[in-house]
Amino acid sequence: MKKIDEAYEFSKTQTSVSVFLETYNQGIPKLFPHASAENLEEFQNLYPALFKDRNLWSIAQHRKKLLDWLFENSFVQ
């Protein structure tokens, strides 16, 4: 139960783009689109309202929206 709580708390934690990128790509199935620094930057530029602080990302807030956007824009790698 403690690991679940820690994972949940981490998902809500605001992190740097590099930590988000690594965490996002580690947790995503192989057939799903993986993120790159370039498409994270483009996503951030297109949706600035999702970022109170331009340099902070969280799995809970951004993963689903990013995944949908990657699928829509065929950034499958």
Q: Which two tokens stand for residue 49?
A: 């309202």
Per residue in 14-31, pLDDT (tens digit) is 999 999 999 999 988 988
CA distance 8 to 55: 21
What spatial distance separates the first Cα and last Cα of the chain, rounded to whole Å?
Answer: 35
Give 76's pLDDT tier (boundaries 50, 70, 90). Answer: very low
pLDDT in tens, 38-60: 999 999 999 999 998 878 999 99
Question: What pLDDT does residue 1 have?
Answer: 65
Whether 75 shows a pLDDT value over 90: the answer reads no
Q: Which of 11-15, 16-20, 30-34, 71-75 has the highest mean pLDDT?
A: 16-20
The dihedral region occupied by 49, where left means phi > 0, alpha psi between -120 and 50, and beta the remainder, is: alpha
